[in-house]
Structure 1
Amino acid sequence: MTTGAALLVVDVQNDFTEGGALGVDGGDAVAAGVTRLLRDSGSDYDLIIGSRDWHDADGDNDGHFATGEPDFVSTWPVHCVAGTSGAEYDPELDTAPLTHHVKKGQGAHGYSAFDGVTDDGTRLADLLAGTQRLDIVGIATDHCVRASGLDALDHLAEVRILTDLVAGVGEDSSRAALDELAAKGATLV
């Protein structure tokens, strides 16, 4: 099926917004902003896909969860455990317009939404087959938005990052992530 445009809402979850296990400043504002975008322009998208970190409750998820002090590079505090409130979408995000939900990080790190699947096992790349343009919003600019955007560039002709609807862990690392995405061919809007 060929579609014109799709929107990927990356990890707008309670554990990544203010007050969460890995909350970033501006996370709630991203959730509210995406809701406004969906209200005002949701009909511009043929597909609206939400991704969520959805880590297994058992184990360390392939070393993703720190057993001691996290280094915040490759090991992290426990977050977004499947079935917990931290893994749920932020309440400021209206999820009604979402056409698909992708869960990632099950037994693995899972930074990119392209590593995830829907509940029926459909991969994100398969959902987006034939899509002309993908707009990406979400959290965190310097981690999961970056990884998802880089993978999207391998699958789609046009990838846009809506920069007013992303929030990152650090200002410098977020700027570097956006610069990297632009250098690889993404358009920053």
Structure 2
Amino acid sequence: MTGDPTTRALIVVDVQRDFCEGGSLAVAGGAAVAAGISDLLTTEHPYAVVVATRDHHVDPGAHFSAEPDFVDSWPRHCEVGTPGVELHDALTFRDFAAVFDKGEYAAAYSGFEGLSPDGAGLAAFLRERGVDAVDVCGIATDHCVRATALDAAAAGFATTVLLDLTAAVAPDRVATTLTELSAAGVAVR
């Protein structure tokens, strides 16, 4: 860093109906995460840019399975044209600079695999806006939040995961996830 002020973005990962209670791939605490993110963003916040990511599946192949292992294969979720693909109702903040959709025809965990409606990738979008630091929150701690944070750090952004604003598929894997994030230089608070 050159000592210049940090330009920070918030990446809201996959806070969608299907990933919250009542959805086809519900994560315990998902709705509370949606509400917590909304609370963060209704007050004066430190973010120059706020973006969201969404699973946006058309036909992701083996990512969907009738007998999922909940690691690499999953029940059907976040299918384009269904209510489950939409951002959760408790996420009342909707003034995103862009929403990055991912996973139409293949598994995609990181928001950095997604594209905005005009075809921009997340890293380029953030760099064009002078962002050099990102906070990551959303669903799920041990999958898409993890992948997005790792890719953010690999792309050169100072990266922090807001752990209290995440929910995990497998809470027993969070400690391993946090170790992996730390090893990659990702801060957790």
Interval of TM-score (by shorter of Structure 1 and Structure 2): over 0.9
Give the corresponding residue for 1:177.
177
Counterpart of 2:69 (choices 65, 68, 71) is 71
Q: How does 1:31-70 map to 2 (within 5 A)?
A: 31-42=34-45, 44-56=46-58, 59=59, 61-66=60-65, 68-70=66-68
Which 4+ stretches in 1 moved above 3 angstroms?
A: none
Pair 116,84 (structure 1): closer, same or farther in 2 beyond 3 Å: same
1:104 Cα deviation from its structure 2 partner: 0.5
1:3 Cα deviation from its structure 2 partner: 7.0
Secondary structure of the corresponding residue to residue 150 of structure 1: helix
Give the corresponding residue for 2:28.
25
RMSD: 1.4
- CA–CA distance in structure 2, aligned partners of residues 85 and 114 of structure 1: 24
- CA–CA distance in structure 2, aligned partners of residues 167 and 159 of structure 1: 18
Contact 1:5 1:45 in 2 (8 A): yes
Counterpart of 1:11 (choices 8, 11, 14) is 14
Unmatched segments (≥5 aa) in structure 1: none
Q: How does 1:84-123 map to 2 (within 5 A)?
A: 84-123=82-121
Number of residue equivalences: 183
* Seq. identity, %: 45
Give the corresponding residue for 1:83.
81
Secondary structure of the corresponding residue to residue 7 of structure 2: strand
Pair 184,20 (structure 1): closer, same or farther in 2 beyond 3 Å: same
- CA–CA distance in structure 2, aligned partners of residues 53 and 41 of structure 1: 28
Secondary structure of the corresponding residue to residue 61 of structure 2: coil
Contact 1:12 1:89 in 2 (8 A): yes
Give the corresponding residue for 2:144.
144
